[in-house]
Copies of this chain bind each other. A is one copy, B any other.
Amino acid sequence: MLGDKKNKEKSLELGFGTKNYQKTVRFLNKDGSVNIKRKGLKGFDNIDRYHWLITTSWTNLLAVILISYAVVNTIFAAIYYQMGYQNFGGIAGYDGPERFLDLFFFSAQTLTTVGYGHVYPNSTNVSTVAAIESLFGLMGFALATGVLYGRFSRPKVALLYSDKVLISPYQGITGLMFRVANTKQNELIEVEASVVLSYSDPETNKREFESLSLEINKINFLTLSWTIVHPIDEKSPIYKVSTEELLKRDAELIILIKAINDTYSQTVYSRMSYKAHEFEENAKFVPIKQEVSGEGKISINLTDIHRYNKTF
């Protein structure tokens, strides 16, 4: 039975605790993010703010930039408006909303340092505020440069995992296997995988985590696809364990892949999780077609990564 052969030495401390939840849980989401929320923290600080700016969508970032721009210009326009139009050169005499808009655009021209100059400050007070605003604009722009560079240079990896984990015949015995490929133009080198099985143990009433041994756990290049195989031999915790048993135990396969993106020599991490209902018994992956062009260039088609045949 699952957990019988549990080898304490081999077990990996994943840091998810061993509490046995009464409900079905998922530790990792399909996109690799950790499915845990930490509450009771002190407020959002600069570290969290930068983290958000770096990881949010481009749409959110653009919205934040545009809204900040509008808000800052509105604030400065209000300050200028209160100082009175006689402090400005090149501004017409009428009052009210139109004046406010003129000052709003003067503010925008100052903040971005475009400074056409058809409107310009001609008193000490307004000049002081404008001098501060243009410095402020440069600082805000420096921040934006940092955020954009931070987003670009952040280590990223986009692995494609097969939809299913197959339990299929493999070199005389049975193997648990899934496929992975790099979807990006860059090359991944020194690619290392580790696979952990998590399941609830009704006897100890704890959540157990066991590391699964792999046929090969490191490859030099991930140029084609890689079929990661756990041989289900006598030493395997899932030896003679049925998929139904795995479902009942709320099993989760947690995958951690570490590689180096060789464009930037950056270490990148990919995480993935399969729940037991994504396991497929008696199935075999269809090999991914490889073609060689006349010049000896090898090409593969990654759309085939999910394809498998049922075997009986």
Contact = CB atoms under 8 A, between A and B. Distances in A.
A109 interface: yes
Interface string A258-302: 001011111111000000000000000000001010101111111
B127 A101 contact: yes
Classify chain A's interface size: 35 or more
Contacts of A122: 118
A170 to B, nearest CB: 15
A16 B145 contact: no
Q: Which of A108, A114, A185 has the most CB of B within 10 A?
A: A114
B221 A34 contact: yes
Contacts of A23: 292, 294, 296
B15 A223 contact: yes
Interface in A124-142: 124, 127-128, 130-131, 134-135, 137-139, 141-142
A262 to B, nearest CB: 5
A55 B154 contact: no
A19 B146 contact: no
B112 A116 contact: no
Interface stretch (A37-45, A171-179, A241-249): A37-45
Given A26-B296, A113-B113, A221-B14, A38 B134 contact: no
A36 B300 contact: yes
Contact of A134 (B109, B144, B226): B109
Nearest to A223: B36
A69 interface: yes
Interface in A97-127: 98, 101, 105, 108-110, 112-118, 120-122, 124, 127
Contacts of A65: 135, 139
Majority-rule SS of A interface residues: mixed
Contacts of A301: 39-40
A25 interface: yes
B152 A300 contact: no
Q: Which of A89, A98, A143, A182 has the most CB of B within 10 A?
A: A143
Interface of A: 12-17, 19, 21-27, 34-42, 45-48, 50-52, 54-55, 58, 65-66, 69, 73, 89-90, 98, 101, 105, 108-110, 112-118, 120-122, 124, 127-128, 130-131, 134-135, 137-139, 141-150, 152-156, 158, 181-187, 189, 191, 196, 216, 218-224, 226, 256, 260, 262-269, 290, 292, 294, 296-304
11 contacts: A34-B221, A36-B299, A37-B298, A38-B302, A39-B299, A39-B301, A41-B302, A114-B114, A116-B116, A150-B153, A154-B263
